[in-house]
Chains A and B, each alone.
Chain A
Amino acid sequence: MDIDTEAPAPSLVTQIVTPGSAITSDSAYMRGHGTFGEHGTIYSSVAGVVERINKLVSVRSLKQRYGGEIGDIVVGRITEVASKRWRVDVNSRQDGMLLLSSINLPGGIQRRKSDSDELQMRSFFAEGDLVFAEVQSYFADGALSLHTRSIQYGKLRNGTFVSVFPQLVSRSRTHFHTLPCGVDVVLGVNGYIWVSKHVPVAQVEANAEHIYSDENESISDDERESIARVANCIGLLNRLYVKITDTSIIFAFEASLPYPVKDLLSIDVATELAHNVTSRLKLQA
């Protein structure tokens, strides 16, 4: 039976390839992610863009689940409380782990971990809580190990959760932004985003005893509306595949002011605002 392989191997510039298509037969190249080799030819195993770095050929799929890297800032949801650690859903292939030894204990960083801490782990993080953490390392099985050993990390409060495609959030210097409208935004590299009421850093530091409190502060109606508007703006940026950065959120927010908050959910308004944002971003670049 004849196999259809008369198509020439695509030149190694950015081009979309599909699973099973040959990339090159040149033995000088090494295979990277998204490829496999058979009888001296390198084939693609995903639909995506061919990337060549020196002698390494790999295929980057356009849509992929988040795969963690050390140093990434992520937002995760606690799914289970296990012995001396928590299982955290970080939108990846496996749940991440937050070890009891990787969190700040209330009452100051110097405090030693005691046996009673182990027994009352739910008083720190319970199932369903959202946590802002950094990826510290990998476990032997590939699961991410998270830590919250800094005052800006920890339990998230006073806000609402938005889930976006991980590709739209790029790694940058800071992932915690305060927007001019008085709303804080935490952009997790894994596509999980937290939009909340602005709380000054000084106030957070002063409350070292209450970092694991489950009580929200009082949030006025205007603040709630701003939070909802920002959340809907992020939702529409996600829907139309616009990169999500503090700049693009601010542009979207400003463009959305003429509309009531719930109109931002309609596809027509969303498309119009997204075009607005992309043209402003292009002008700025």
Chain B
Amino acid sequence: MSRQELLSPEGLRVDGRRANELRRILCRASVLNTADGSAYYEQGNTKVLVAVFGPREPRARGQLQHDQAIINVEFNIAPFSTSERRKRSKGDKRLLEIASFVRQTFEGAIQRSVYARSQIDIYFHLLQHDGGTLETCINAATLALVDAGISMDDYVCACTAGFIDETPVLDLNSVEESSIETPDLTVAVLPRSGNIALLQMESKLHSTKLDSVMELAIEGCKHIHKKLDDAVLAAANDLAEKLSH
């Protein structure tokens, strides 16, 4: 198997991007009629659809918390989302782990005490997988939660970054992610305060390189914040116009 050159000498990656370029982002809020909030988010070739229900009566009465809302996240990957058809496995620990990360991220951003004794459900469907699953899910969920009118402290914007051939690179696709030589880091920030809601990395990265990679990822988050804000304003203005007549 020939080793693919992830970063050419001219500074171009496998999909023609430079080291510090994000993939194309396409996002829309309010795409599903039956959900309280919904969003469709594409970053490059990764596509995810998310539906938010809530706040509503908790399904399991025993889990009810008297002072704050429960956040429940379910994550589904479509079998056709990867290049090889995926065998469906409901209890896949990897999926549960991603769902758990998303839940923890939003537990820090949603004002849960406003919705005591209720449950907020976030359901993901990954339609196409090309790297950056966790980052696209967090960004899409932010859009959907804002669409549902759920109180949050701020947007949550996530981005991945890695290191190829001594250069920090932004927003890895699946080819870059699956390469064993490329460490990849996912950061989620709350843009207004700059606080970090999630920091995740499973590969090895030298501590001296950590700063530059994180800084690049946080820069990417700022750009994503602008995109999400535009999508929210577009949906809100659309709805305001329809409701005003």
Contact = CB atoms under 8 A, between A and B. Distances in A.
Interface of A: 1, 3-5, 16, 18-20, 34, 36, 43, 45-49, 61-65, 89, 92-95, 141-143, 167, 239-241, 278, 282
A36 B37 CA distance: 22
Given A63-B239, A93-B55, A241-B242, A4 B191 contact: yes
Interface stretch (B98-106, B128-136, B149-157): B149-157
B233 interface: yes
Interface string B49-64: 0000011110000000
Contacts, number: 103
B181 to A, nearest CB: 29
A18 B143 CA distance: 11
B190 A65 contact: no
Given A3-B194, A63-B147, A65-B149, A19 B55 contact: no
B236 A47 contact: yes
B117 A141 contact: yes
Contact of A1 (B194, B242, B243, B245): B194
Give the interface centre of A3, A18, A142 by most chain B CB atoms within 10 Å. A18
25 contacts: A3-B194, A4-B222, A16-B237, A18-B236, A19-B151, A20-B154, A34-B151, A36-B153, A43-B192, A45-B153, A46-B149, A46-B150, A62-B239, A62-B243, A63-B36, A63-B37, A63-B148, A89-B57, A93-B56, A93-B115, A93-B117, A94-B118, A141-B117, A241-B239, A241-B243
Interface size class of B (residues with CB under 8 A): 35 or more
Q: Which 10 A-B pairs have the closest CB atoms?
A: A61-B149, A20-B154, A241-B242, A45-B151, A64-B149, A93-B55, A20-B192, A93-B118, A95-B57, A19-B152
Given A3-B191, A49-B240, A18 B232 contact: yes
B193 interface: yes
A20 B236 contact: no
Contacts of A282: 245
A48 B235 CA distance: 11
B111 A36 contact: yes
Contact of B236 (A62, A167, A241): A62
Interface of B: 30, 33, 36-37, 54-57, 66, 111, 115-118, 146-155, 190-194, 218, 222, 225, 229, 232-233, 236-237, 239-240, 242-243, 245
Given A20-B155, A45-B153, A61-B149, A3 B192 contact: yes
A49 B57 CA distance: 27
Contacts of A167: 243
A63 B240 contact: no
Contacts of B30: 63
A63 B218 contact: no
A170 to B, nearest CB: 11
Given A65-B56, A93-B115, A141 B233 contact: no
